[in-house]
């Protein structure tokens, strides 16, 4: 089959939270693009069902494996990475998809244990897999790291503070690790997949307007009715970022829905010399204020 139809042929990917929702959609897209994959998640039953489904979609030369693992458990993640390398013959791509909303409500009213656990899953559950794959990526002189960040990184989310804080941290982590790896041919990027109709939306609806706020709840109801953003947008962007077509694009937070990312390779020099598609502080001068900046 032509390479453009199998852009991930010969590549091996590890996808966290790959048992359902966007993670499962990314895994399907990677298999269709020719990759061999390892998926991991905490729910062993759902993970096994998804793994068997993916194996049925793969060709004979695309091994598929899966492992139950908690992304906040360093030893479990290390073992998962080793298994991927041993059973799949290497590792070229990490997709950090595992994530939770965490507790809903005003910051001072939320359960502190739940708040900390959400940060552990979203942020530490991204840092730990990155730490595990970087020695391998650096040794082979190539790698792709893809983070799932999103709306929590770009806008305040009242009453969902653990999610917002951890997703913003993930975006800055993406930029920082990209800088650390800029001489190692390792590209590190974050995806904003859009408003998805996944279990996270169902959690918002179940929590109700008193917990998440009337405005956010009303948006969630409309999103549920409208169908939300198709999962395929985020999956297509993930395939692009995992492929050689995106080589050199790094340290960016990319909208799957609104950014013309497929054309970015034509403008690589402009990207490299600019701070576009990154988190940054907006000064008063940039907004036309004459009084705020020296």
Which amino acids are annotated catalytic?
163
How is residue 257 written in tokens? 């829905």
The answer to whether residues 30 and 238 touch, using CB atoms and an 8 Å cutoff, is yes
* CA 122 – CA 142 distance, rounded (Å): 25
């Amino acid at each position: 089959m032509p390479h453009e139809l199998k852009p991930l042929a010969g590549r091996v990917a590890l996808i966290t939270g790959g048992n359902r929702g966007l993670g499962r959609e990314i895994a399907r897209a990677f298999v269709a693009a020719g990759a061999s994959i390892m998926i991991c998640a905490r729910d062993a039953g759902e993970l096994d069902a998804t793994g068997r489904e993916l194996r049925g979609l793969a060709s004979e030369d695309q091994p598929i494996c899966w492992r139950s693992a908690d992304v906040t458990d360093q030893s479990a993640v290390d073992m998962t990475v080793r298994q991927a390398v041993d059973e799949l013959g290497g590792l070229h791509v990490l997709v950090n998809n595992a994530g939770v909303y965490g507790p809903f409500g005003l910051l001072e009213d939320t359960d502190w244990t739940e708040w900390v656990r959400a940060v552990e899953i979203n942020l530490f559950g991204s840092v730990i897999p990155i730490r595990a794959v970087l020695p391998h990526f650096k040794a082979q002189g190539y790698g792709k790291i893809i983070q799932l960040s999103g709306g929590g990184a770009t806008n305040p989310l009242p009453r969902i503070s653990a999610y917002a804080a951890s997703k913003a941290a993930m975006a800055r982590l993406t930029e920082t690790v990209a800088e650390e790896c800029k001489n190692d041919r390792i590209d590190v990027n974050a995806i904003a997949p859009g408003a998805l109709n996944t279990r996270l939306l169902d959690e918002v609806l179940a929590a109700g307007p008193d917990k998440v706020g009337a405005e956010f709840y009303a948006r969630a109801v409309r999103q549920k009715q409208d169908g939300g953003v198709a999962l395929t947008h985020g999956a297509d962007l993930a395939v692009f970022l995992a492929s050689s077509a995106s080589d050199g694009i790094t340290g960016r937070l990319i909208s799957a829905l609104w950014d013309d990312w497929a054309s970015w390779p034509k403008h690589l020099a402009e990207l490299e010399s600019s701070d576009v598609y990154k988190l940054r502080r907006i000064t008063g001068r940039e907004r036309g204020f004459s009084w705020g900046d020296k």
